[in-house]
Structure 1
Amino acid sequence: MSARSEPAHIEHVALDGERLHTAFVSGRGVPLLLCNDFVANLDILDEFATALGRPVLRFDLPGVGTSAEVVRMRRMPALAALLAKLLDHYGLTEPVDVMGIGWGGLLAQQFAQSQGDRVRRLVLAATASGQLMFPGRLASLVRLARPGALGRVAPDGEQARIVFGGRRNDECRQIATAFRRATAPTRRGYAAQIYALTGFSSLTWLHRLNIPTLVLAGDDDSIVPTVNARVLALLLPQARLEIIRGGGHWFVLERTEDVVRMLDEFLEAKVAISAADQNSTF
């Protein structure tokens, strides 16, 4: 699909006592529900969402971006239920495609597990299975451990490469450019995402998640090492693994064209992934 020019419909949606900042571009085709990374507001994905050239629904969780402050702390299953209500709000009753980036990949897995009849295909980017994962570089994790806007963590391409990985400063400048639109979460919003993550692991049920899945990973990711993607692809019954050579944690911003091409091939494929496809990735 080619990039589109239609503007996103921006609104604040009241759901189950919370008020979420959302951006939805309607159109032809199966909508993509996009779950963002840890405390990352939807605005940093503006160019990526536009490049997708398909209907896309983005959202900020409570306490993130311009969403209202967190009213109730929720575990991953409760957040997945909240997303189901968000789809209802937009009249998306047919199965959608779901993509999760980093922390959002955990939420995407949970949504596929507890709301499986609403998911057509699943994309997991730069993510893992939860707390039982192979950890990233300690220095990078420490930089991300303080509540604050992501723009402070990566103000330029060099700092983005140091913190998130990636082989080229010019590509990592795309991360810094996007992060200039980042806003700091509230302290309660930051705590809410930590709370949702605490105790979460998909390892015990991934083998029952029988949904065609594309697993994407950068081989220079400082936050979520590539081995985590291999674990996901090994356990998921219908998974295909794609490695972005030289890509860091935010390869969706570094290598947008490559990622969009992979998504188009996967989401528009007429034939579902077979076991042979999955095994051939190793």
Structure 2
Amino acid sequence: MSARSEPRLLEHVALDGERLHTVFTPGRGTPLLLCNDFIANLDVLDEFVAALDRPVLCFDLPGIGTSADVSRFRRMSALTRLLARLLDHYRLDTPVDVMGIGWGGLLAQQFAHGHRDRVRRLVLAGTSSGQLMFPGRLASLMRLARPGALGAIAPDGQNARSVFGGRRNDECGAIAQAMARATAPTNRGYAAQLYALAGYSSLPWLHRLNVPTLVMAGDDDAIVPMVNARVLALLLPQAKLKIIRGGGHWFVLERTDEVVRILDEFLESRFAPSAADQDSTF
């Protein structure tokens, strides 16, 4: 775990008619812009962010966490323009690293596609290419379809495991602890994230997304099956695929130390995809 000497900077930033709750955590090296999963507020990622020894910028989209409610609905491309303005607000003018988890992985892909000059490296965790994907377990998806707080469906390790996947109740207990800090989205916040997702797919242009990319997946993910990560790694020109054995959808919370080690290795290396990286996709 990292030890930080500087305090986090918490703000509510006004951008294009929206007011976003943001947290900037100082550190050494290239800043990491972290895009969270569907209706998950940034507090869920506290332990993960604390373990990263680098600057991290987290945000809640409109209607999520303590961000103000949605002023207007936006597609993915319009949401990425909000992110570009957020980087401007923090005077992050040089390219940053971008990580997306689940739904946030779609936003991260779109940001790298539409704002390529602002992205140094891309990390996609437990995500897919959009609506044209291999679906997860129906029972898990149905439990996520209710617009309430994530903590209500994962009050303990056993429930977290049954919804998100993961092979060990003790590891999934870390998910339940994090989800206890989840807050329910507003109705408009929930609908806005579904609206951005509707009809969205990165498949038409993934082969042109020429940015070094780490694709991570848990092999027991109940929400976004691992095959979706294999598709991403196959299509992205500079992709490295890493499978978290026994990990579920929230493997960043289950296996934080392991994920941080893999992440640091990728972000700090002179990355070039090898034949082994490509052959591991199928």
TM over 0.5: yes
Whether the 8 Å contact between 1:238 and 1:278 is mirrored in structure 2 is no
What is the correspondence of 1:126-275 to structure 2 with a 5 Å cutoff? 126-269=126-269, 271-275=270-274
Aligned-partner residue type, residue 31 of structure 2: P
Gaps of 5+ in 2: none
Aligned-partner residue type, residue 279 of structure 1: Q
Whether the 8 Å contact between 2:27 and 2:53 is mirrored in structure 1 is no
Secondary structure at 1:52 match in 2: coil
**In 2, distance between residues paired with 1:174 and 1:4?**
22
Please say if 1:279 is aligned against 2:281.
Answer: no
Whether the 8 Å contact between 1:237 and 1:275 is mirrored in structure 2 is no
Matched with 2:96 is 96
How far 1:275 sits from its partner (Å)?
A: 4.8
Aligned-partner residue type, residue 110 of structure 1: Q
Matched with 1:70 is 70
Deviations 1:49-71 (A, max 9, x none): 01011100000000000000000
Gaps of 5+ in 1: none
**In 2, distance between residues paired with 1:136 and 1:97?**
28
Secondary structure at 2:258 match in 1: helix
Whether the 8 Å contact between 2:240 and 2:273 is mirrored in structure 1 is no
After TM superposition, the score normalised by the length of structure 2 is 0.98
Aligned-partner residue type, residue 97 of structure 2: D
Secondary structure at 1:210 match in 2: coil
Aligned-partner residue type, residue 183 of structure 1: T
Secondary structure at 2:139 match in 1: helix
Aligned-partner residue type, residue 12 of structure 1: H
How far 1:3 sits from its partner (Å)?
A: 4.4
Secondary structure at 1:98 match in 2: strand
**In 1, distance between residues paired with 2:39 and 2:250?**
14
Matched with 2:32 is 32
**In 2, distance between residues paired with 1:5 and 1:154?**
33
What is the correspondence of 1:9-48 to structure 2 with a 5 Å cutoff? 9-48=9-48
Whether the 8 Å contact between 1:5 and 1:50 is mirrored in structure 2 is no
Whether the 8 Å contact between 2:2 and 2:50 is mirrored in structure 1 is no
Secondary structure at 2:51 match in 1: helix
**In 1, distance between residues paired with 2:276 and 2:110?**
24
How far 1:9 sits from its partner (Å)?
A: 0.6
**In 2, distance between residues paired with 1:53 and 1:276?**
30
Whether the 8 Å contact between 1:3 and 1:52 is mirrored in structure 2 is no
The 3 A distance-change label for structure 1 pair 219 and 75 is same
**In 1, distance between residues paired with 2:148 and 2:91?**
34
Whether the 8 Å contact between 1:4 and 1:51 is mirrored in structure 2 is no
How far 1:272 sits from its partner (Å)?
A: 2.2
The 3 A distance-change label for structure 1 pair 145 and 139 is same
User: Runs of at least 4 residues of structure 1 off by over 6 A?
Assistant: none
Aligned-partner residue type, residue 39 of structure 2: V
Whether the 8 Å contact between 2:220 and 2:247 is mirrored in structure 1 is yes
Deviations 1:210-255 (A, max 9, x none): 0000000000000000000000000000000000000000000000
How far 1:119 sits from its partner (Å)?
A: 0.1
Whether the 8 Å contact between 2:209 and 2:237 is mirrored in structure 1 is yes
Aligned-partner residue type, residue 217 of structure 1: A
Matched with 1:109 is 109
Provide the aligned C-alpha RMSD in A: 1.0
The 3 A distance-change label for structure 1 pair 277 and 2 is farther
**In 1, distance between residues paired with 2:236 and 2:82?**
24
**In 2, distance between residues paired with 1:44 and 1:5?**
22
**In 2, distance between residues paired with 1:19 and 1:246?**
38
**In 1, distance between residues paired with 2:168 and 2:279?**
29
Whether the 8 Å contact between 2:122 and 2:212 is mirrored in structure 1 is yes
How far 1:21 sits from its partner (Å)?
A: 0.2
Aligned-partner residue type, residue 112 of structure 1: A
How far 1:273 sits from its partner (Å)?
A: 2.0
